[in-house]
Amino acid sequence: MWEILYKMCKEVYPGLQEDDHVNFVKLSFAMMEYNSIEFYCLPQDMSFGSRELLISVGWLMLTSNVLEISTNRKLRESPMNMEFDVEGYQQSRDVPSQPVFKAGSLECTLNSILWIAGKIRHNVNSITETCQARVKFATKVHESTINCCGLPHLSVSETKLVRYPELLPVYLDRISEYVVLMDTHKQWLKKCHVFWEWMETVVAEKESDPHQNHLSVHEKRTLFHALDTLRHIAKACMLWCQRARSCNSMSDKDTDRSVSSPLHDLPLQPLRGLPRCILQAKGGHTEMGQLLTESELQLQDVRDMYRIKKAAVFEQLHQLARQTENVVLFPRLLK
């Protein structure tokens, strides 16, 4: 029962930090304002409390519609919902080794940064062009399969199955578990009234328990321990959220929301750490070009500064040489 609750809570709060299964479930229910004291008194070793767990399962299913959410998520990730058959084209390729830049002068470091930035810009532009070509070819497939097989149009993977029927057994084997999932969900929708009628008897049995509102000393200790643990976990989550919010605000300053690029429609969560110059597509006056121009100007300023310092050092050496004309060992050429 704890495992079932853990999986259901992961569907509701997928990004919540984990401590262990019991504390994770209790924290999730506390965030959903579940007010059963007996539930939070359940021990960490999962030794008893089946009735409370069963009631909490019914409460979670009733308030958050977690089964529907989980089923829809699974079906969205299934091959039936894929436009392209990704698994059929994945090939293991050796990643070429990247050159290692050793620490050197400031000029060498700036040159290596400019080289890496140029390579990233080239890769992002290639990805953009590939995405555009992919959309173009998918549109052609959709237009050529309008009203085919009783559907508005076929996807690229479905068109591939029509073109190569020998691949159909492999495809059916891949989607078999999702077909079972849909059949099971249909059966649940037909028989769920039996579960809720049974849950009414479970709740009535709990309400008729004479020891319902009386906590033992052990249960009180368990409750206080659970509250302390939840308090620490909540503080850690609040601190993590504050850090994430500050990082997001900093990245939002670096990322212009008006960027006209196919990449800006992607979710920002995995792209938060990337600067805008990497996410931006090619163009005449992009921030990548501005970055390269500013880097070149900084490099030129560094070169001018070193040139001035070099001239000043030689001037000081000449002055020292003129002051030490009687020293025999001093090189005459330097004087």
Instruction: Encode the chain (335 residues) as per-residue pLDDT tens digits.
Output: 889 999 888 888 887 766 678 888 888 888 888 888 888 888 888 888 888 899 999 999 988 888 888 888 888 888 887 877 766 555 555 656 666 666 667 778 888 888 889 999 999 999 999 999 988 988 888 888 888 777 788 888 888 888 888 888 888 888 899 999 999 999 999 999 999 999 999 888 888 876 666 667 777 777 777 777 777 777 777 777 777 777 766 655 554 444 333 333 333 333 333 334 333 444 445 554 555 566 677 777 878 888 888 888 888 887 777 766 554 444 555 44
Q: What are φ and ψ of residue 17, in 5° steps?
A: -70, 145
* Closest to 289 (Cα-Cα) out of 297, 298, 306, 277: 277
- What pLDDT shows up at residue 271? 33
- What pLDDT shows up at residue 184? 92
Q: Which residues contact 188 (CB under 8 A, 6 or more apart)?
A: 67
Q: Are 23 and 237 in contact (CB under 8 A)?
A: no
- What pLDDT shows up at residue 186? 92
User: Distance (Å, rounded) from C-alpha 191 to C-alpha 199?
Assistant: 13
- What pLDDT shows up at residue 126? 94
Q: Are 82 and 274 in contact (CB under 8 A)?
A: no
Q: Are 265 and 135 in contact (CB under 8 A)?
A: no
Q: Are 155 and 78 in contact (CB under 8 A)?
A: no
- What pLDDT shows up at residue 274? 32
